[in-house]
Amino acid sequence: MTEHTTGPSVKLDTPFGVDYDLVHGIMKNPQVHTIRLASSMRGHYRDAKALEALVAQGDPVHYEVFEMKIPQEVGQLQFCISKTYPGTVGGECFMTKGHYHAVPGTAEIYLCLRGEGYMLMKLPTGESACERFLPGRMCYVPPFWGHRTVNTGDEPLISFCVYPGEAGHNYADIEKEGFPQRVFKRAGKVEIVPAKAG
């Protein structure tokens, strides 16, 4: 992972505005810019050998997140642009790591701006859900649901996300549990399959 921090360019304790490039799906002058490469996705795709081949071939970017440093406090709102690139690893579509929120009872809204794909969601009990991402479509992630973005298209999948200030991220439990479903694209055909099946 590469995390690039630009330092405060706005005062966060007074009203402020942020400019977006909605065509390229980027926040202009973000305070935190996280870039996840193939090499930071080990353990997430079914085909570990295919992932290592991709790492050896140039370690492409899987996704980027653009954020401001909003205080992690009740009453604040975190917001970001999440941009997941197109591609596959052994047929499995590029995706985010996925996480629960560290404060589990906090929801999140994703508004899809460009591209296409799915939001995979799961509860710690194993119950799962899946929502389509298409431009103009919003996905509501209720409290307690883990969530992962999957790009099934041929261009970047870009969403604007908003969630409570205190939410935080819990990646460790999702890394242990995985998601009940995986999304593959073979010969242009998208398939959502149970994680344990082929």
Site residues (vs ligand F6R, CB under 6 A): 65, 80, 82, 96-99, 108, 147, 149, 161, 163, 169
Nearer to ligand F6R, 171 or 186 (CB): 171
Per DSSP (E only), the strands in 115-188 are 117-122, 128-133, 138-141, 146-151, 157-164, 181-186
Question: At its nearest, how many Å lie between Zn ion and the CB of residue 167?
Answer: 7
- Report which DSSP code applies to 38: G
98-137 mask for Zn ion (x: CB under 5 A)?
A: ----------x-----------------------------
Distance, in Å, from the CA atom of 167 to the CA atom of 77, rounded to the nearest integer, reads: 9
8 neighbors 69 (Cβ within 8 angstroms): yes
Q: How far is the CB of 119 from ligand F6R (least distance, A)?
A: 9
Q: Between residues 147 and 182, which has the closer beta carbon with respect to ligand F6R?
A: 147
- Residue 102, classified by CB atoms within 10 Å of its CB into exposed (0-12), middle (13-18) or buried (19+), is middle
Using rule CB under 5 A, residue 64 touches Zn ion:
no
Which residues in this chain contact Zn ion in the complex, by CB under 5 A? 108
